[in-house]
Amino acid sequence: MNLDFMKTMIICAGITGALCAAPVHAKWVKKDGKPVWVDNVKTQVSTAQPSQSSESANKAAINRTRQQILMLDDLYKTAVVAITQHYVNDPSTLSAASAAKALFAAMKQKGWHDARLLGFTDVLFNAAENAPKDEFEDNAKKALLGGAANYEEVADINGKQYLRMATTVPVVMEKCVMCHANFKDKKGSIGAISYQVELIQ
């Protein structure tokens, strides 16, 4: 069952990536009871004093990397929501969070990029793993809870430049409440996906 589930998720992700063009800025909202994308929402960029490396970062490279992250974000969220809609019927089934983490782990193992889930609610499963871990993720939490759809910073890590971006995760379907009773009637961001991608030169 789990093997078939994961195969379907991977196929769905591939089809979604092939067919969907990622919006420049988008977020999940409910429309007629179904999760849909709304684009033209705001991205908040760090207002902290940029480092010398950030100032010298090529704007075109940042834009290319941003588009890549937004495409990945669209693919991950669309695939996980589609799988949850069709296959998750009780809490014993592989959860949306577990499915997303499996995808993130596979991509990291193959050397593509880093992505992880962040939780913003007062009650977290496995808080040691899912709570914000550094200044960037703390800043992202503040920005997203303040209404931004995305938050980003350019970072120098081991001599390489990366775009770090966090994208909001709201409650988009009733099935979320099966595993997270505290999500009931929750508005706005309940978490994020935190990305770290090397700048595409």
Residue 71's domain spans which residues?
Answer: 2-198
Which of helix, strand or coil describes residue 29?
strand
Contact 108, 114 (CB under 8 A): yes
Q: Tens digit of pLDDT for each residue in 20-32? A: 333 434 455 555 6
Structure tokens belonging to residue 66: 């941003």
pTM of the model: 0.68
Q: How many domains does the chain have?
A: 1
Q: Tens digit of pLDDT for each residue in 89-132? A: 666 666 777 788 888 999 999 999 999 988 887 666 677 777 89
